[in-house]
């Protein structure tokens, strides 16, 4: 059945005018007037072992820090304090695994018991405060347990996608120099089992830094061979150890390192500190996502991404919510109703997923008939991020779900949303294609190449005025100079996001593409995102990617590849002709959009981001590196076959064997 609050939502989200919630505006005014007072007040939600000496310390600017002098423990704030407060019998985590058919519930008390024992085991292995631990695991409860166990003893964890290629894992081992690696025998993808242990063994062989120990969770789908003296069985390891308590760390000490997607060569390790991270996530759960302690919050992501860190592991537990750990896909495990089935089963109030997941569901169920089979009356709002939420997908989701669909924008580097429509501060009207207004604490601007602010609706580089609020990266692991050079140098006084877009006359941000995806057509700067927005509205198209290809006359011209909705049987040439005509009518001849093709699927990272840069290299006939995070390397061959009849491709192919990609 449909949610019962559809009319209420339509009334609330009317776009006939743009009144902004007074609570939202008041929060923005307060943080702008006195950011230290604002964040000191927010920090009262955290249990501190020792309060801070200084809320914001810029004595070593631009390497500024929040809550210097404070001492804290992240695991205590996520687990122990809730058990102490009487919340021990509440579900902390629900493991939903359609690929194995398992559903498991972990109360706060039960999760704490397991975390404390794994933490004790790490201590027995000689892991202590400041030591690094790599976690190379699938979406199983032990991944969350491992993260929290590291936090408990003050060790710094670095989660690497299970199934990442050996050479990519090796670069992360060399950079982090872990004392131990926690892993599993395999991960499970629809229709196949991916063995992790051979990849891990090869990575350690390639790496110059060697871990002392590896703890391996043996899964029944594939048993891993063990190396005597180095490898330990997870179950025996956990069962043998005594639980250990929390180790107090400085608020400015690192909690984790997360390596950004697509990293090759010298890794780029984003550092997240303990204190600022706790304050920012606690504030965001209440004020951005609008969830209350005890409610069920679901981020359908992976622990390998920043979303998994912030809103599968730490955010919900910190706020006393019940989180969901999902091992599956939005379609095919078993069908396109998986999301709605889980929302109904567990009474999910707020969900977070990627636009690409919604597009996959829309392709399989274009009329939203499957949604009607489930009672989603507890469901209030769906947030999307990871890549731009195109207006067509957002509008379709609003229609079939009857709840606000909120596109919001943030980055691995920030750790929490930069721009969002904040449910906890009163939802304001949505503008399709925009992630809304800037979240209190951030100060977003659009500037030209000289760092001068541009006018409303003018496209430029999106930057954030310094200082960044709590929770954002203070530096790169072991590379302060590289942090300053990459993020703080090109636009003095600002943090460079690497994204391009514009702010309209109402203050809504539109993130159109990465700055690298702005193409220059005969001297005209065009956003590929704007062209994609037009094409995504085509009735037969499920998803689309536009990227620039080399042209002798114009420098670059846009090329579009579309994936059709399930059941579309029209002549593809008719559809591509319509695509070209749509762009000509809605953007104009200046776009020089003359070539489009139909693809069976588009290459993506495991988080759902479309690999436009890789497709561009294939179309331009250039050699390309296999992206470390690609979901399936075979799609690259399909793209080459798709673009060749369009007059592109026939290049030298990948720089490395196909087996070296992220899909392993």
With bands split at pLDDT 50, 70 and 90, how would you rate the model's confidence at 570?
very high
What SS3 state is found at 357? helix
What SS3 state is found at 503? strand
> What mean pLDDT comes out for the span 96-111?
97
pLDDT digits (tens, 9 = 90+) for 190-217: 888 999 999 999 999 999 999 999 999 9
Prediction pTM value? 0.82
What SS3 state is found at 660? helix
pLDDT surpasses 50 at 10: no
Residue 168: the pLDDT is 80
> What mean pLDDT comes out for the span 417-439?
95
pLDDT digits (tens, 9 = 90+) for 34-75: 999 999 999 999 999 999 999 999 999 999 999 999 999 999
Rounded CA separation 497/444 (Å): 10
Residue 190: the pLDDT is 84
Across the chain, mean pLDDT equals 90
What is the SS3 assignment for 437-501?
Answer: CECCCCCEEEECCCCCECCCCCCEEEEEECCCCCCCCCCECCCHHHHHHHHHCCCCCEEEEEEEE
With bands split at pLDDT 50, 70 and 90, how would you rate the model's confidence at 2?
very low
With bands split at pLDDT 50, 70 and 90, how would you rate the model's confidence at 124?
very high
Nearest alpha-carbon partner for 297 in 403, 373, 378, 398: 378
Joined tokens for residue 138: 């699938």
> What mean pLDDT comes out for the span 412-423?
97
- Domains of the chain (ranges; CATH) run 519-660 (3.30.300.30)
With bands split at pLDDT 50, 70 and 90, how would you rate the model's confidence at 266?
low
pLDDT digits (tens, 9 = 90+) for 305-329: 899 999 999 999 999 999 999 999 9
Q: Concatenated DSSP letters for 72-121?
A: E-HHIIIIIHHHHTT-TTSEEEEEEETTTTEEEEEEHHHHHHHHHHHHHH
Whether 57 and 68 have beta carbons less than 8 Å apart is answered as: yes
pLDDT digits (tens, 9 = 90+) for 344-390: 999 999 999 998 899 889 999 999 999 999 999 999 999 999 877 88
């Amino acid at each position: 059945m449909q949610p019962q609050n559809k009319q209420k939502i339509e009334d609330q989200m009317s776009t006939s005018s743009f009144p902004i919630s007074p609570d939202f505006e008041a929060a923005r005014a307060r943080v702008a007037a006195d950011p230290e007072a604002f964040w000191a007040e927010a920090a009262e939600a955290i249990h501190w072992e020792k309060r801070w000496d200084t809320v914001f310390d810029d004595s070593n600017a631009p390497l500024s820090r929040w809550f210097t002098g404070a001492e804290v423990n992240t695991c205590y704030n996520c687990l122990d304090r809730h058990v102490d407060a009487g919340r021990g019998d509440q579900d902390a985590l629900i493991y939903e695994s359609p690929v194995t058919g398992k559903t498991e519930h972990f109360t706060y008390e039960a999760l704490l018991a397991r975390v404390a024992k794994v933490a004790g085991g790490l201590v027995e292995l000689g892991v202590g405060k400041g030591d690094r631990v790599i976690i190379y695991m699938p979406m199983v409860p032990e991944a969350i347990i491992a993260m929290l166990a590291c936090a408990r003893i003050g060790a710094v964890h670095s989660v690497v996608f299970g199934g990442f290629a050996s050479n990519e894992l090796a670069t992360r081992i060399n950079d982090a120099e872990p004392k131990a690696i926690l892993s599993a025998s395999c991960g499970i993808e629809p229709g196949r089992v991916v063995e992790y242990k051979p990849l891990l063994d090869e990575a350690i062989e390639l790496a110059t830094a060697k871990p002392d120990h590896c703890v391996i969770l043996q899964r029944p789908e594939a048993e891993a061979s063990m190396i005597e003296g180095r490898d330990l069985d997870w179950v025996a390891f956990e069962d043998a150890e005594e639980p250990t308590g929390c180790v107090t760390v400085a608020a400015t000490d690192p909690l984790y390192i997360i390596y950004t997607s697509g990293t090759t060569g010298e890794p780029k390790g984003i550092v997240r500190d303990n204190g600022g991270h706790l304050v920012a996530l606690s504030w965001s759960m209440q004020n951005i996502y609008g969830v209350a302690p005890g409610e069920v919050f679901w981020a359908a992501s992976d622990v390998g991404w920043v979303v998994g860190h912030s809103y599968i592991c730490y955010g919900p537990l910190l706020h006393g919510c019940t989180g969901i750990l999902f091992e599956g896909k939005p379609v095919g495990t078993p069908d396109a109703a998986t999301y709605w089935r889980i929302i109904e089963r567990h009474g999910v109030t707020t969900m977070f997923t990627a636009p690409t997941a919604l597009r996959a569901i829309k392709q399989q169920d274009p009329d939203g008939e499957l949604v009607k089979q489930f009672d989603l009356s507890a469901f209030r709002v769906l947030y999307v991020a990871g890549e731009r939420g195109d207006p067509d997908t957002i509008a379709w989701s609003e229609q079939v779900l009857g709840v606000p669909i909120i596109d919001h924008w943030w980055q691995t580097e920030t750790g929490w949303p930069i721009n969002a429509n904040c449910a906890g501060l009163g939802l304001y009207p949505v503008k399709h294609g925009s992630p809304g207004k800037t979240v209190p604490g951030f100060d977003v601007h659009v500037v030209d190449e000289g760092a001068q602010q541009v006018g409303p609706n003018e496209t430029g580089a999106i930057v954030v005025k310094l200082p960044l609020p709590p929770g954002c990266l203070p530096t790169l692991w072991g590379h302060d100079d590289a942090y300053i050079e990459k993020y703080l140098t090109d636009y003095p006084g600002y943090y460079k996001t690497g994204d391009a877009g514009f702010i309209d006359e109402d203050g809504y941000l539109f993130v159109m593409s990465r700055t690298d995806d702005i193409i220059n057509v005969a001297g005209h700067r065009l956003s590929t995102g704007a062209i994609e927005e037009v094409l995504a509205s085509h009735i037969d198209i499920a998803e689309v990617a536009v990227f620039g290809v080399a042209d002798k006359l114009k420098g670059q011209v846009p090329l579009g590849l579309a994936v059709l909705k399930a059941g579309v049987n029209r002549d593809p040439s008719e559809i591509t002709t319509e695509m070209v005509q749509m762009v000509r009518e809605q953007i104009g001849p200046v776009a020089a959009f003359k070539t489009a093709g139909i693809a069976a699927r588009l290459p993506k990272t495991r988080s759902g981001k479309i690999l436009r840069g890789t497709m561009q290299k294939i179309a331009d006939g250039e050699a390309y590196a296999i992206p470390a995070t690609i979901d399936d390397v075979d799609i690259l061959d399909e793209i080459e076959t798709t673009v060749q009849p369009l007059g592109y491709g026939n290049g030298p192919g990948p720089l490395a064997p196909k087996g070296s990609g992220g899909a392993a």
